[in-house]
Amino acid sequence: ELTLVLAGQDRLPQRDELASLLDESGIGDRVVRLPFVAEALLPALYRGAELTLYPSAYEGFGLPPLESLAAGTLPVITPGQTLAALWPEYPYLAPFAAGAFVATVQRALGDPERAAIATRGREIVAGLSWRESAGVLAGLVAELLPRPGGRP
């Protein structure tokens, strides 16, 4: 029997609707809400999870799925997140629809290849760094800025 942990600030405009749905589904007593998790505790929270669920209609970068992979826990994500661009064949990418998302979660929980996929995920995120990202951004800005005596 699994527990659903809802971590982070509750910014959902439909929070009352979500609470009602969880209660009606019969899992309300297996839901834990953590409105704040210290950054130092995030890796342990991710490692202790079977999966990380990250349904998002839009995410500018989507750091939690990458943090989850770094901790060795596979996220179930929706399109439009950075992970989908970094790993186009990622197996737990679900359409942004409740039934499809649930089916992907169920498939992920029963996947005998989950450990191998998690290892591949760690390899992918191990190559990411803020220093590298800043270097790429600095290079792009340098290309766009006017050069002395000329045009960009």
Query: pLDDT tens-digit profile of 35-89?
Result: 999 999 999 999 999 999 998 887 767 889 999 999 999 999 998 888 888 899 9
Residue 150 lies in a domain: no
Q: Which pLDDT value is given to residue 151?
A: 60
Q: Which pLDDT value is given to residue 77?
A: 94
Contact 124, 108 (CB under 8 A): no
* Amino acid occupying residue 77: I
DSSP conformational letter for 145: S
Distance (Å, whole) CA 55 – CA 62: 10
Give residue for tokens 């989850």. Answer: 68
Residue 88 lies in a domain: yes
Question: How many domains would you assign to the chain?
Answer: 1
pTM confidence score: 0.81
Which H or E run contains 34? Answer: strand 31-34
| CA 151 to centroid of chain Cα atoms | 41
What average pLDDT is seen over the chain? 89
CATH number for 131: 3.40.50.2000
Q: Span 122-137, mean pLDDT?
A: 90
Residue 24 lies in a domain: no
Residue 16 lies in a domain: no
Residue 97 lies in a domain: yes
Residue 27 lies in a domain: no
DSSP conformational letter for 61: S
Domain enclosing residue 55, as ranges: 37-144
